[in-house]
Every structure is written in C-alpha cells, then in structure tokens.
Amino acid sequence: MLSSKLLLALQAGLALATPMRVSAPPAAARLTVREEGVYNASHPNITIFATGGTIAGSASSSDQTTGYQAGALGVETLIAAVPQLWNVSNPSGIQVANVGSEAITPAILLNMTKQIQAELDSPYCQGVVVTHGTDTLEETAFFLDLTLRTEKPVVIVGAMRPATAISADGPINLLEAVTLAASESARGRGAMVVLNDRIASAYYVTKTNANAVDTFKAYEQGFLGFFIDIKPIFYYASALPVGKPYFDLSNTTVLPQVDILYGYQGLNPALATAAVETGAKGLVLAGMGAGGWTDDGSEVITSLIAENGTAVVDSRRTMDGYVEAADTEGYYGGGWLNPQKARISLQLAINAGYADAQMRTLFEFAG
C-alpha cells in the first residue's frame, strides 16, 4: 500500500489547479523553515526542474502501470513525497512544464536550458535535477548535455511507473538523482541520467525497452556508476565523451526544423522532398544496417543537398552501431549517434551556422 504521507502528497498535487514554482530561499534569507524540513547550511542547494512525465503520473488504481495521466502532479508534490531529500540537500523546485515527454517541444527545451544555465551560474546552486517522462528523456538529456556549460552536476531522472503505482520507482529515482547532484564526485561529468540504481552518460544512454524499469542503457559504452544505499559509486574518474561539442543558445529564440526519415524496404523517396518543402533545413536518415538507403531514395537526397543546401546525416535504425562519414559535401555519417540524437546535434549545428568542414568534424568525432 502507499504510505499515508505519499497519499496526502499525491492528493495535494492533484488538487493544484495550475503548476506552481517552489522558490529557492533568497540569498538574504537562506535559513528558512519549511514543512518538509529545515534549511541546513552544510547541505548543497539543489534545484529540481520538473517537466511532468510518468514520475509525476497518476492512475486510478495502485496496480495500473499503463493508461495513466502523465504530468498530473506538480513539483511541490514530488518533493513533499520524498522527505529524505532534506537529509542530503536543500531542495527547491521549478515547474517548467507538466506534460508527457512526447509533448516536449524545441521551445520548451530552449526555455529550460536558459533557466537551468542561469541557475547553475548562481553561487547559491550546487547542482540541478530535471524530472522528465522517459519516452523522450534521452533527447532532452542529450540537448542539455550539449547546451549547458558547467562543472556542476546536472542529472535527468524519470520513472517507468506512475507515482500512484504499488511499487512506484519515481521516489527512489528522485532521491538518487538529488543525492548525485549533491555529490562532489559527480562534478565535471557532463549531464547524467539516473534510473533503476544506475548512472549513465546523457550523451550515450538510450531507452531500450518500452516497459521495463531497467530500460536506460548504453550497450557499447556502459554505465558510469551505480547506487548502493542511495550512495553513488563511480567506475571511472570524471571524463567527457570524445569530441563532445558545446552550443551557446543564449541568443537563440527558435531552432531550425530537422526531420527524421525511417529506412525500410520500398521506402517512399518523396517523403524527403516533402520534409524539405514543409520547412526542414536538415534531415536525419534512420538507415538500414550501417546507414543504408535505397538507390531511388539516395538520388532524391543527393538532389536536395545540391539544390536546396539541405544538410543530411546518415544514422541507423538498429539499436546500436557506428555509421561512417560520407564523402559528399552536405552529407555526414552520424558516428555512434542514434537518429534522435543525431537530429539534435544537426539542429544545433545548423543553428550555429556550421560550415561543411565544421559539420564533418562534429559528426566524425561523434562519440
């Protein structure tokens, strides 16, 4: 059964008419007593940016793990449901969205990365946690990894079961994420993803199963570490992926459209043309094998590159693998990047005005 405290927290969250911001104590009034705990000067200040998803989901019964309402609970409720957060941090929360992760848009990502960067730049913040739905969590995590400049820990966390489930994984995942963000050993590692007692690099990790709680993995690169008794244990010293770029979005208000096309037998070449005609500045091909595409489809792609200046990245529809660089100008191999991450990288590179040589370097050294 759910604990009485969690039930009360969930009920309170469901009663909220609109998402609310839980403000961090102002610098002049840091010694603030709250219902959940007391500000502790020896604890790091961790800001939780909430976007909704399963971790904030609610179902009609405790044995229901599908068909629930994602993003039903606000960040206040998530914090109140895990009082142990106060044992390791001074937590505060900001609700930047409250939706299923399929509804996260480039506008939300832009807003979020700017808010998080401002928070990380503050001397009063020692780390950041982002709660997120798992369906597109890897995309947001990858985006933040490429657009935040900081040594402070940034941890993205979600859940595979809604908050109302009999064995919800959200509370322990959140506690581990905040504990990681509060840890000195987590500094300088780029953005990280935490679920199921594992710590993964946001650059490499992907969702591998639609239902299982151990879904987030990086098969080739492995995990960075794990948790024992809510304590993070790392396998390696802090390091960043080879060739990982940084993109400054401080002056960006809109991101260019980049679309993904899926490879299959008898694919329709006209879909590439339609994507460009409806505004795509770049295309990512989720190719067969190590980036294979049909002859007819390749003719259309070559034409779009030559006549429209469309930037195209070859990726793969398989779970893992490396796609070699292409020889044609405007045509790039995606390296280790899966289609959804290649799309974000291409989107950011087009926005930054990368020339062909810069694009080639970016994708040739993609992991």
Binding-site residue ranges for substrate? 101, 134-135
> Catalytic one among 47, 131, 134, 147?
134
The residue among 99, 130, 125, 124 whose CA lies nearest residue 112 is 130
> Catalytic one among 54, 147, 150, 310?
54
Q: How far, in Å, CA of 346 to CA of 305, rounded?
A: 14
CA distance from start to end of the chain: 44
Cβ atoms of 224 and 194 within 8 Å: the answer is no
> In Å, what is the CA distance from 133 to each residue of 51, 70, 219?
8, 8, 21
Phi-psi region of 263 (alpha: psi -120 to 50; beta: other; left: phi over 0): beta
For residue 299, the tally of other CB atoms under 10 A from its CB is: 12
Respond yes or no: is residue 150 known to be catalytic.
no
AA letter at 25: P
Q: Strand ranges (DSSP E) for 202-322?
A: 206-207, 216-217, 225-228, 231-234, 258-262, 282-287, 311-316
**How far is C-alpha 334 from the chain's CA centre?**
19
Q: How far, in Å, CA of 259 to CA of 340, rounded?
A: 9
Residue 297 tokens, joined: 């489809």
Instruction: Give ∠ CA 252-26-253 in degrees, rounded to 5.
Output: 10
The residue assigned the tokens 């960006």 is 252
Respond yes or no: is residue 113 known to be catalytic.
no
| Residues annotated within a binding site | 101, 134-135
Q: How far, in Å, CA of 367 to CA of 98, rounded?
A: 32
DSSP state at residue 316: E
Q: How far, in Å, CA of 162 to CA of 68, rounded?
A: 7
Q: How far, in Å, CA of 281 to CA of 232, rounded?
A: 42
Q: How far, in Å, CA of 201 to CA of 180, rounded?
A: 13
Active site residues: 54, 134
